[in-house]
Amino acid sequence: LNEFTVGPITSIGGGCFSDCPSLTSLILNHVTSIGTNAFYNCTGINNISLRALTICGDTTTNNNVFFGIKLGCNITVPVALQTANAGAPDGDLVYAQTSRNAIINYI
């Protein structure tokens, strides 16, 4: 899978884009929830835009949503996810930032 274009879907299931190393960018600005392992081992992904996201994985802890993404990937999410985990960022975003050097853009 190199490119993915879709209409206004609101949910992405667990493992949806798992092991897609050729995928480089996803703009999913209508998606409000993504499941566990959604971007697991997407080692080529540079940019993920999730501007409407409210649920990242099954819980606010790390659910491996961004496990193995490309180092330095840009992830755009709503500012509400910055305090979704009892005042701290969602655990998946913390993982992406600390383990994958992701750049988290809170909007």
pLDDT tens column, 73-102: 999 999 999 999 999 999 999 999 999 999
First vs last C-alpha separation in the chain: 28
Residue 4 lies in a domain: no
Residue 33: phi, psi to the nearest 5? -145, 140
Helical segments of 1-107, H only = 91-100
Q: Is residue 2 included in any domain, yes or no? A: no
What is d(CA 54, CA 19) in angstroms, rounded to the nearest whole number? 24
CA-closest candidate to residue 10, choices 47, 41, 54: 54
Residue 6 counted as domain residue: no
Question: Which residue range(s) make up the domain with 89?
Answer: 11-106
Instruction: Please tell me the total count of domains within the chain.
Output: 1
Per the domain annotation, does 75 fall within a domain? yes
Residue type, 73: C
pTM over 0.75: yes
* Whether the Cβ atoms of residue 25 and residue 47 lie closer than 8 Å to each other: yes
